[in-house]
Amino acid sequence: MRNGQLPEAEEILLRARTQAANDPDVHGFMGYLYKQWIPRRTTDAREAFRRAAELRSRKRDAYFHWIRMELDLKDGAVACEAAEAGLKNVPANRTLLYWAGRAYDMAARQLEGGFHFDRAEQARRRASEYLTQALGADDVGEAAPSSGMIHKALALTAEASKDTKGVASIRSNWEKAAPEDAHNDWEWQRLTRVVPQNAHE
């Protein structure tokens, strides 16, 4: 959607909201609209996404765009809030599980930066749990993460936890599940150099 079309789209959605104030999809669309605005209307977008979640929107994309916005803004805590809301209303979704893992990984890094090490480790465990669940979950929508993307996030989460055996095991599984993806990925190549091949044995 071009920026010049955004005010017109907003007028349409505001009318729709007036007519159907409790329609979660209207609020989800408004969140996306404000996310796309230049400059981004972050407060409006966040309020709209939250309202969509409160109304139990079943649309994956409302949560996907909310999580991605918060990650772009480097707000790990709110990204986790968005992820939890999404998984509550659209459970066992591969895309939301993956981005929940990414959100908790960011939160863990930010907690470490504030010297909250226990909470950081809890967040990192949650990240690993969600990413592991994502490997076995389904999602037929666009932008669903590949097996390689999920393994990569798992490996980096394990590395941040200084879990050498975990990194080696995940790296091996990544290569088995998506060999071309692994071999062409810089992070896989780096992990191959820094973590011994037999570390997980």
Task: Give the pLDDT confidence score for residue 50 in this predicted structure.
Answer: 98
The angle formed by the CA atoms of residues 90, 94 and 100, to the nearest 5 degrees, is 75
Asked if residue 1 has pLDDT above 70, the reply is: no
The three-state secondary structure class of 138 is strand
Task: Give the pLDDT confidence score for residue 163 in this predicted structure.
Answer: 94
User: 24: phi > 0 → left, psi -120 to 50 → alpha, else beta; which?
Assistant: alpha
Where residue 120 falls among pLDDT bands split at 50, 70, 90? very high
Asked if residue 40 has pLDDT above 90, the reply is: yes
The amino acid at 139: D
Where residue 141 falls among pLDDT bands split at 50, 70, 90? confident
Distances from the Cα of 80 to the Cαs of 127, 140, 155, 170, 191, in angstroms? Answer: 10, 23, 20, 24, 27
Question: If you average pLDDT over every residue of the chain, what do you get?
Answer: 94
Where residue 149 falls among pLDDT bands split at 50, 70, 90? very high
Task: Give the pLDDT confidence score for residue 133 in this predicted structure.
Answer: 98
Q: How far apart are CA 25 and CA 13, in angstroms?
A: 10
Q: How far apart are CA 52 and CA 179, in angstroms?
A: 39
Of 151, 161, 157, 158, which is closest to residue 182 (Cα–Cα)? 151
Where residue 201 falls among pLDDT bands split at 50, 70, 90? low
